[in-house]
Amino acid sequence: MAARPETGSPFIPLPEMSGRQFREWAELFERRAGLVISPERKSFLVTAVGLRMREAGFDDYEAYYQWLHRGRESLPEWSLLLDRVTVHETRFFRHPRALELVSRHVSDKPCEGEALSYQVWSIGCATGEEAYSLAMVVDQALLARSGRSYFGVVASDISVPSLTVAREGIYKESRLDELDDRLLRHYFAPLEDGRFRVVESLRRRVCFAQMNIFDHARHPLGPMDVIYCQNVLIYFQRERRKMLLDGLVEYLLPGGLLILGSGDVVGWNHPRMERVRWDGVLAYRRLPPQGRTT
What residues line the site for ligand SAM (CB under 6 A)?
33-35, 86-90, 94, 124, 126, 130, 157-159, 162, 212-214, 230-232, 235
What is the closest distance, in whole angstroms, from the C-beta atom of residue 11 to ligand SAM in the complex? Answer: 29
Spatial separation of the C-alpha atoms in residues 218 and 279, rounded to whole Å: 34
What is the closest distance, in whole angstroms, from the C-beta atom of residue 78 to ligand SAM in the complex? Answer: 12
3-state secondary structure 224-274: EEEEEECCCHHHCCHHHHHHHHHHHHCCEEEEEEEEECCCCCCCCCCCCEE
Spatial separation of the C-alpha atoms in residues 272 and 28, rounded to whole Å: 34
Closer CB to ligand SAM, 7 or 212, in the complex? 212
Q: State the CB neighbour count (10 A cutoff) for residue 177.
A: 10
What is the closest distance, in whole angstroms, from the C-beta atom of residue 174 to ligand SAM in the complex? Answer: 16
What is the closest distance, in whole angstroms, from the C-beta atom of residue 231 to ligand SAM in the complex? Answer: 4
What is the closest distance, in whole angstroms, from the C-beta atom of residue 100 to ligand SAM in the complex? Answer: 16
Closer CB to ligand SAM, 213 or 287, in the complex? 213
Phi–psi pair at 198, nearest 5 degrees: -60, 135
Closer CB to ligand SAM, 126 or 142, in the complex? 126
What is the closest distance, in whole angstroms, from the C-beta atom of residue 156 to ligand SAM in the complex? Answer: 6
Q: Measured between alpha carbons, how far is residue 53 from residues 43, 160, 162, 243 in Å?
A: 15, 18, 20, 33
Longest dimension (CA), the chain: 66
Spatial separation of the C-alpha atoms in residues 245 and 269, rounded to whole Å: 9
Closer CB to ligand SAM, 172 or 185, in the complex? 172
Closer CB to ligand SAM, 4 or 219, in the complex? 219
Closer CB to ligand SAM, 109 or 242, in the complex? 242
Three-class secondary structure of residue 291 per DSSP: coil
